[in-house]
Homo-oligomer: A and B are copies of this chain.
């Protein structure tokens, strides 16, 4: 069992992502595929529709760079440290271009991914009744359930053309083990037509077999595997590194104007040829400290078979 799906991020994006694609992103704050957003910007993939639950930088960057046509989401913002300035500018002012919004709740987006993962056309949720969410979203169908007559809201399956999920560990086949919170990644992996896994470390399949209960994404969902340490920076990865808040604050400050954001993208996304150069620009001391802030608190446990 040795089909090798290892490639580079540039090649994976080039080969598997098209303009006008519907794109899903894994993680939430932790493990958001920020480096994948950088690469989408570098390759200028256009007119994307995003389907996301609650996302921070990974979505803000794509919107600010003008790649996004529409966002189907529950929440787009920048955590506790500030507003989603690019999101606001695009929706309110049409800068750099207007994006269409389609609102859901986190559970409703979760059910959309679960429906996609199960291969069923829809799933019901009890949320959203009595709110204005269905009023502004034609895809939510309210009905009385045929068993007890309760009001339920149907949401359609999410079937993204491509998904990016950043994990701690995967093998070359694509079997991926995620530690800490899982967000909606187990379902996103299955709902997507094509799946790009980026990971902090590629590990031997024999390591996967030590604890198969931790494999949340089976290889048969996966199209490409990319080893990409610090692929979620400036966000965190459980067991690997903590949030780089000063970096986040700086790009958020830059995002106050479109010009500021454009300059920031020029400096931090377009100025390098390989992601390693981005990491060099940050400096090994800074990366080591982010790692220490995490590992003093949590490390992935060592799994010892007898």
Report chain B residues within 8 Å CB of A122: 124, 145-147
Interface of A is mostly: loop
Q: Is the CB of B299 within 8 A of A301?
A: no
13 contacts between A and B (CB under 8 A): A121-B124, A121-B147, A122-B147, A123-B124, A141-B147, A178-B213, A299-B305, A299-B306, A301-B303, A301-B305, A302-B303, A302-B306, A303-B304
Closest chain-B Cβ to A118's Cβ sits at a distance in Å of 8
Copies of this chain present? 2
Question: A211 near B: Cβ within 8 Å?
Answer: yes
Residues of B within 8 A of A305 (CB): 299, 301-302
How many angstroms between the C-alpha atoms of A152 and B143 in the bound complex? 16
- Determine whether A156 belongs to the interface, using a CB cutoff of 8 Å to chain B: yes
How far is B299's CA from A210's CA once the two chains are assembled, in angstroms?
10
Residues B304 and A302 in contact, CB atoms below 8 Å apart:
yes
**In the bound complex, CA of A11 to CA of B178 (Å):** 39
Query: A122–B119 Cα gap in the complex (Å)?
Result: 16
Is the CB–CB distance between A121 and B148 below 8 Å? yes
Nearest B residue (CB) for A154? B146
A122-B124, A182-B213 provided; 14 other pairs, C-beta below 8 A? A121-B150, A121-B152, A123-B124, A143-B146, A147-B154, A180-B213, A211-B301, A213-B214, A301-B304, A301-B305, A301-B306, A302-B303, A302-B305, A303-B304
